Amino acid sequence: MSEIKRAKDLLKEPLLHFILFGALIFVYYSLTNSAADSEDSYDIHFDKSDIHRMKSAYQLSWSSLPDSLTLSRLIDEEVKAEIFSREAKRLDLHHNDEIIKRRLVQKYEFLVSDVADGAQASNEELQEFYKSNLDKYKSDPTYSFYHFYFKESPNQNAKQSYQMISLNEGNVESILDKMNHHDPLHVSTKQTTKSVNQIEISLGKEFSQELRNYHSQGWIENPIQSGFGYHMVYVTDFKESTIPTIEKVKNKVTKDWRESQGVNFKNELYKSLKQKYKVKVEVE
């Protein structure tokens, strides 16, 4: 019974589904690309799908379908390209060509990705993936604060005069106008419900990293330095990171799960293919 159970569990593995599905695709691809159209053959065959591709490419460029004369010229160009391509391969001109190699690798990976993109996760698999990657779905902590910019580090009198103000009470703008100690800056003095990433964009990484250390309302004792200069900062509100329920981020969880399965599939496929090759590296 245990052997049967293990077999059933194996059949549920999405990776096995990828490999089987991938094998079917590669078999189909090899059958539909027979030796008649290989570089070893002198037969060239364009079917209806090839003609449709040429028409679509022309329409995309010129916003209209090609007439019969234009289509004939397009076919002639394709024939010339196919002949020259095969003759170049016969002369082994593609050997050690890094551009061609990279393009072939890219096309192969696209083919493999198409297989992986067809993966479907069960609710249980999505739940397990979500729980294992909770940090990916956390919202950023947010800050609301006032910051007062100084080109040079403010002296003790300036710091004390600012720290006497309670910025969450009264008419803040009129109080600040009377203070008139800070220098002008293009970034607004008042910042409301800004994530750490948003703060980094407007005030720099140095500022945002320092602000992460403060989670309570009130003045930060010492000025925070940024790429602009120095900032006296009063935090009016702080909200911790939150983790949404899986229902709120299900589309993203599904996308991430599929991508992770795709990576696993590519790695397993590579291991399987590599076993067929003998690799010899001569080191100087």
Q: Give the whole-angstrom CA distance, residue 115 versus residue 266.
A: 10
Task: Specify the 3-state DSSP secondary structure of 195.
Answer: strand
State how far the alpha carbon of 226 is from the alpha carbons of 10, 209, 232, in Å.
55, 10, 11
How many Å separate Cα 153 from the centre of its chain? 40
> pLDDT tens, 145-183?
988 888 888 877 777 777 777 665 555 555 565 555 667
Please give the residue that has the higher pLDDT: either 37 or 115: 115
* pLDDT higher than threshold 90 for residue 208: yes
Confidence (pTM): 0.54
CATH 3.10.50.40 assigned to domain 139-239? The reply is yes
Going from N- to C-terminal start, the domains of the chain cover: 139-239
* pLDDT higher than threshold 90 for residue 56: yes
